[in-house]
Amino acid sequence: MRASVEGLGLERDRLEERLAELEAEEEAGLLKRPPATGGGDRVEPQEERDDKPDADEEEAREQARERELEIAREEIQAQPVEPIPYEEYVRLYRESAERYGFGGDWYVLAAVGKIESNHGENMGPSSAGAMGPMQFLPSTWSSYGVDGNGDGETNILDPQDAIPAAAAYLKAGGAPDDWYAALFTYNRAGWYVEEVLAIAESYRRIHGDDSVGPYLEPVTAPAEEAPSRTRPAPEPADRPDVDDVVQEERPPDERTPPPDAEIQPDDEALPTEETTAPVPEDTVSGGGTTMEQYQD
């Protein structure tokens, strides 16, 4: 993700400083709200991990996951729903952000949805027991779930409830005044905050929206020293022609992009095709509640 942020021309110093402050607050026990999701979990290739969790750590994680799944079975509504088109996700992101006071910044809410479930493609449960399109932990959902569609239920698997709940949770965590704090509250991990903001910035740029953001500060280029008026600026020695360099480095069949081409995100912009996100098999059985499946 560091390469992605630097590729967008974004500054990391301020972000890292703020994240260090938030991590210190967490260690000091000053963050009272439970995380909405994941507990900082991130799946990484084995070769990139410095060490393996020991047996006690693995057992503790599995016990925590089982507690979450028990809450899902016994204390909350976790009813599978019909999948909805991606356009409906976009509408829910926009409307939910507007409802909770950061309508212009709906890109951040959409970025959370992208990371958590790829806009409904992976409903979980995760390795931590999180579920639904916004991957809430059932223990957190039991206190912070929202009945977004007014049907009298707060269904962790329903985007019409989960997306407004995520917006409400971000608002209570500091959005839109402090996105760093809001996102760190949602998932207690620095990589998560950075990744969400980078994706949100990509979405914002694709939409050409200068009314909000930037979500990560652009890198400021150092000012170049003006040439002296008493002597001409020196010519660079043996500098190859720019067109020659482009031809040498670019494959013959690759089209040269225009100089003002916008940077695209790692994935595509929020999809607009009339496609539906499949509901994972482990969440659906006969159209009813299937929490006993999560016992495995």
Q: How far apart are CA 285 and CA 282, in angstroms?
A: 8
Please state the rounded mean pLDDT for residues 269-294: 45
Residue pointed to by tokens 């999809």 = 271
Instruction: Give domain status of residue 8, yes or no.
Output: yes
Buried b (16+ CB within 10 A) or exposed e, 256-272: eeeeeeeeebeeeebbe
- Look at residue 77 and give its three-state secondary structure: strand
Instruction: Give domain status of residue 276, yes or no.
Output: no
Instruction: Give domain status of residue 154, yes or no.
Output: yes
Task: State residue 199's pLDDT score.
Answer: 96
Contact 120, 156 (CB under 8 A): no
- Looking at per-residue pLDDT, the higher value among 18 and 70 belongs to 70
Q: Six-digit token pair at 92? A: 């829910």
Contact 100, 173 (CB under 8 A): no
Instruction: Give domain status of residue 289, yes or no.
Output: no
Please state the rounded mean pLDDT for residues 95-115: 98
Contact 81, 157 (CB under 8 A): yes
Q: How far apart are CA 266 and CA 43, in angstroms?
A: 18
Contact 190, 106 (CB under 8 A): no
Number of structural domains found in the chain: 1
Number of neighbours of residue 240 by Cβ within 10 angstroms: 9
Q: How far apart are CA 119 and CA 51, in angstroms?
A: 32
Q: How far apart are CA 163 and CA 92, in angstroms?
A: 7
Instruction: Give domain status of residue 131, yes or no.
Output: yes
Q: Six-digit token pair at 64? A: 């925590």
Q: What percent of the chain has pLDDT over 90?
A: 54
Of 44, 109, 115, 40, which Cα lies nearest the Cα of 266?
A: 115
User: Across all residues in the chain, what is the average pLDDT?
Assistant: 78
Instruction: Give domain status of residue 285, yes or no.
Output: no
60 has pLDDT over 60: yes
Instruction: Give domain status of residue 232, yes or no.
Output: no
pLDDT in tens, 148-204: 999 999 999 999 999 999 999 999 999 999 999 999 999 999 999 999 999 999 999
Instruction: Give domain status of residue 259, yes or no.
Output: no
The domain of 183 spans 2-43+58-216
